[in-house]
Structure 1
Amino acid sequence: MSKHNLIKDKLKPALDSVHVPQDVPLASALLSRLVIRDKSSEEHVQPSNMSLTFSIEQTERVTLAAGRNNIGTLLFHPIPNDESHHTVAHVDWLGITLRLPEGKGIDWLFQELKSVFDLAVTRVRHTGWNGYLHRADIGKLGLVAWGGKAQRGTAHIEINGTGCAHISDWRQVQSWGTQHFARITRIDLTHDDLEGIQCNIDRVLEWQSSGGFNCGGRNAKVKLAGDWHDCTEGRTVYIGTRGNKMLRCYEKGKQLDDPASRWFRVELELRNKNRLLPWDMLTRAGQYLSGAYPCLAFLSAEQCKLRTTQKATDISLESMTGNAARLSGKAINVLMHLHCEDANVVVDLLRRDRIPKRLEPYEEHLKAMHDRKPTS
């Protein structure tokens, strides 16, 4: 029996339920099942006070791939919005899996991380990670994992948002990943509105009510989280499902402990579960974020990762200073009296090595701020 007929027999019950004519190709028949209109999406009525309207758009194209045991698998391909500029978003998380080249060991991958990504392995641990037997840390910027029979000779690189900010040449990373047939397993694409003008909680709720998260005829799941009572600690709207396609829209400044901040973040998390994540997402981040949902097509503000890092550092420093004054201000006052207003003595008594955990992601930026200060 041919592979085509075997796949068709496996999926016959599903296809029969759709009443597809016999002369329609198998792939077309499967694609016809993707646009499923439930009652809520068909009967959705635009609120009278909403002026926003969004067309129902296909945000991903779909192909049929042969999976294990010759069972057909639907593979989703994100569609970028070519009308947007690639700089309206930046990469804020990256997971990569690859098979080490023949004759190459893990030391080769460590060297590639340094030369291509400008990231250095700082410590090899005696523990594994997510099924891998071995793990090495890239400082506080990410990790490398390898080893294990179930992993079939692959290695994995996970780079967090702070680590992504260290990468200056995404085109070089893209070329490297393509050359070594690596797979992107997770990528986060982020747009920051530091003043909360174009993107904010109220606007996101408008988008939801106006069908802005409707893709191919289906409304994405929406979930609210955070401080919706006092609205001082940050609110979040989740669209979609984690582990597949998730859009997080949240008050970033308030999350960093600044109740007055208007900084708002829109963050798309994509994983490779039944989804092909192309390498050009690294250099066309804004176009892929803009194409993820109809309501994001308007994004136009160019992103500057350095500016957002500076903003986060300033908020964290101000919050840390306020907390220290509230918790230890009176104690410092007493110590100053006891030591004849000698601040050096008091600082020596209170000072501790290392930095607070909340400032760890911005450690390199803090060093740069110190180096820029003029010496007396």
Structure 2
Amino acid sequence: MRREQMSEEVEYFSHFITDGNGKLREVLQRRGKTDGVFIDWLTVTFHEDTLVKAAGHPLVSDNEYMYVLSRKLEEILGFGITRKCKSKGNKFYEMMFRLGSETVDYGEVHYGGQRGTVLIELKGVGCSMAKEGWEARMFDFLQQAIRPRITRIDLAIDFFNGEYTPEQAELDHDNGFFDNHNMRPKSERKGTAWRKEDGTGKTFYIGRLKNSRYVRVYEKGRQLGDKESKWVRFEIQFNYGDIDIPNEILIDEGSYFCGAFPICASFHNMPEAKRFETVKKVLNQTFDHKLKHGKNAVGKLVNFMVDVGLSAEEIVEMLKAENGYPTGLEPERYSLDELRYAERGGYLHDNISIDEELNTDWLDFRVSSDFDRNKRLLDIEGDISRQRKEADDFEAFVERKLQELEPLEKRLDRIARQEAERMRRIRRMNAPYRWFYGRFVTYRKTPEVFNHCFF
């Protein structure tokens, strides 16, 4: 019931501005009915077995995984994957797929090569064009997904009449209304309009792009070309890292927006503030990682010292540092038990928790009655046979074309050789002799004996 109420509290409307030529331009907008906060960007990841769970049967090829995902995205957003991109993108995945058309980019899907995960990136246009109530449907999907994680989400609020401006944001920053834990984030101006008003718009940044919170306060209307527009957008980009972004933010945007900075609570009709939990990593670095770099650094030197006759104790004493430990290896948090975990579970600095990675409860769906391990989405054997037949037909076609291009003399010679081979084969089949164990023997067909048991 709570999710349905949240999805109903988002309204869609149009805002009109004028472009540089004086023409009226309609901009489709959406916002929360109560607090005005909406999602302007979303990036999520989850394990690929989520799609196997959704399909209810094993998936074999990459195309099958993307087919199931496209169908699921159409249920959630109202649109699915349109095509595979030639580029791999900038997310270090092996493949990238496009959401939207060639001219309008709704978002992207990245897949392959990242520990069996899938990444969905929904951009601003995609968030605006998605089917109403997509936030609640995405929340339900992530709740059922395997190892889901929101890695980035942008929450924004619009001030169409200039109730809040970049100049006001700069003043509030100086007065400490963007401080967190008694720390003031860095800030930056951007735009030529700060020095002289030219209608291009001002932007005020607070924080750094890789921080857990990054604020952009900019004149949205002037960015779109209306030099007289008072439309200002206050946008907060939340990044996974120091904070854990819960799935609940999809259906309760206003509360987390309000809890981001003290200034946000002063905006109109803000709900009760909610804050993110801080992520604590189990280990900063694994012993194997440091050992690898140490071996690369001094491994050959150790070989030389052994060959010249130095003992192990002498080598250790000569190479040993006076004090301290490698950066990232914290003795109070790095015990022998954790080292054994690292050897079994791999590098831990990429994970939030060892228990999360080693948890196998999500495999229960594979033994449930809804999962058919013998079913396949596509007929793989049929596809292979069809591809093989097409390849054989193509080879025969190419051979015929090459034969047609041969000179007449060579073509006649080839036909004569083929005819001679055919006649030899006919004579061999009609001969009264057969080659039998290295010698010719007389060949006669023996009459079949009638046997009533055959009937």
- TM-score interval w.r.t. the shorter chain? 0.5 to 0.7
Corresponding pairs, count: 216
1:215 & 1:85 partners in 2: Cα distance?
A: 28
1:294 & 1:85 partners in 2: Cα distance?
A: 22
Per-residue deviation, 1:301 = 6.1
Asked if 2 retains the 8 angstrom alpha-carbon contact of 1:86 and 1:287, the reply is no
SS in 2 for 1:219: coil
Asked if 2 retains the 8 angstrom alpha-carbon contact of 1:233 and 1:254, the reply is yes
Asked if 2 retains the 8 angstrom alpha-carbon contact of 1:290 and 1:297, the reply is yes
Distance verdict in 2 for CA 1:153–1:86, change over 3 Å: farther
**Match for residue 196 of structure 1?**
162
**Match for residue 285 of structure 1?**
253
1:289 & 1:241 partners in 2: Cα distance?
A: 18
1:86 & 1:110 partners in 2: Cα distance?
A: 32
**Match for residue 270 of structure 1?**
238
Asked if 1 retains the 8 angstrom alpha-carbon contact of 2:34 and 2:269, the reply is no
1:225 to 182, 187, 190: 190
1:171 & 1:113 partners in 2: Cα distance?
A: 13
- Do structure 1's residue 171 and structure 2's residue 143 form an aligned pair? no
**Taking CA–CA contacts closer than 8 Å with sequence separation of 6 or more, which of the two structures ends up with the larger relative contact order?**
1
SS in 1 for 2:67: helix
**Match for residue 79 of structure 1?**
none
**Match for residue 210 of structure 2?**
243
1:178 & 1:299 partners in 2: Cα distance?
A: 31
SS in 2 for 1:259: coil
**Match for residue 131 of structure 1?**
92
Per-residue deviation, 1:294 = 0.4
Per-residue deviation, 1:278 = 0.8
Per-residue deviation, 1:120 = 1.7
- The share of aligned pairs that are identical, in percent, is 30
1:154 & 1:208 partners in 2: Cα distance?
A: 39
Distance verdict in 2 for CA 1:200–1:215, change over 3 Å: same
Q: TM-score, normalised by structure 2?
A: 0.46
1:277 & 1:153 partners in 2: Cα distance?
A: 21
> Where do residues 43-54 of structure 1 align in structure 2 (5 Å cutoff)?
none
Per-residue deviation, 1:99 = 0.7
Q: CA deviation digits over 1:137-160, x for unaligned, max 9?
A: 001200111012xx0111111110
Amino acid at match of 2:202: R
Per-residue deviation, 1:195 = 0.6
Per-residue deviation, 1:298 = 1.6
SS in 2 for 1:155: strand
SS in 1 for 2:81: coil
What are the ranges of 5 or more consecutive residues in structure 1 without an aligned counterpart?
Answer: 1-83, 303-376
2:73 & 2:223 partners in 1: Cα distance?
A: 31
Asked if 2 retains the 8 angstrom alpha-carbon contact of 1:253 and 1:262, the reply is yes
- Do structure 1's residue 158 and structure 2's residue 121 form an aligned pair? yes
What are the ranges of 5 or more consecutive residues in structure 2 without an aligned counterpart?
Answer: 1-31, 53-57, 60-64, 271-455
Per-residue deviation, 1:86 = 6.4
SS in 2 for 1:187: strand
Q: CA deviation digits over 1:286-328, x for unaligned, max 9?
A: 22112111011122269xxxxxxxxxxxxxxxxxxxxxxxxxx
Please give the root-mean-square deviation of Cα atoms over the aligned residues, in Å: 1.8
1:260 & 1:171 partners in 2: Cα distance?
A: 37
1:274 & 1:301 partners in 2: Cα distance?
A: 29
> Where do residues 1-376 of structure 1 align in structure 2 (5 Å cutoff)?
87-101=35-49, 102=52, 103-104=58-59, 105-129=65-89, 130-139=91-100, 140-148=105-113, 151-167=114-130, 168-169=132-133, 170-181=135-146, 182-197=148-163, 199-227=164-192, 228-231=194-197, 232-244=199-211, 245-300=213-268
Per-residue deviation, 1:226 = 0.8
1:86 & 1:96 partners in 2: Cα distance?
A: 26
Distance verdict in 2 for CA 1:271–1:125, change over 3 Å: same
Amino acid at match of 2:96: R
Q: TM-score, normalised by structure 1?
A: 0.55
1:239 & 1:213 partners in 2: Cα distance?
A: 8
Amino acid at match of 2:155: L
SS in 2 for 1:178: helix
Q: CA deviation digits over 1:22-66, x for unaligned, max 9?
A: xxxxxxxxxxxxxxxxxxxxxxxxxxxxxxxxxxxxxxxxxxxxx
Q: CA deviation digits over 1:144-199, x for unaligned, max 9?
A: 11012xx01111111101101123211111111121042111100010001112x1
Asked if 1 retains the 8 angstrom alpha-carbon contact of 2:155 and 2:236, the reply is yes
2:74 & 2:33 partners in 1: Cα distance?
A: 29
1:86 & 1:217 partners in 2: Cα distance?
A: 30
**Match for residue 59 of structure 1?**
none
Distance verdict in 2 for CA 1:171–1:155, change over 3 Å: same
Amino acid at match of 1:91: I
SS in 2 for 1:215: coil
Q: CA deviation digits over 1:90-111, x for unaligned, max 9?
A: 0000001111124342221111
1:85 & 1:213 partners in 2: Cα distance?
A: 25
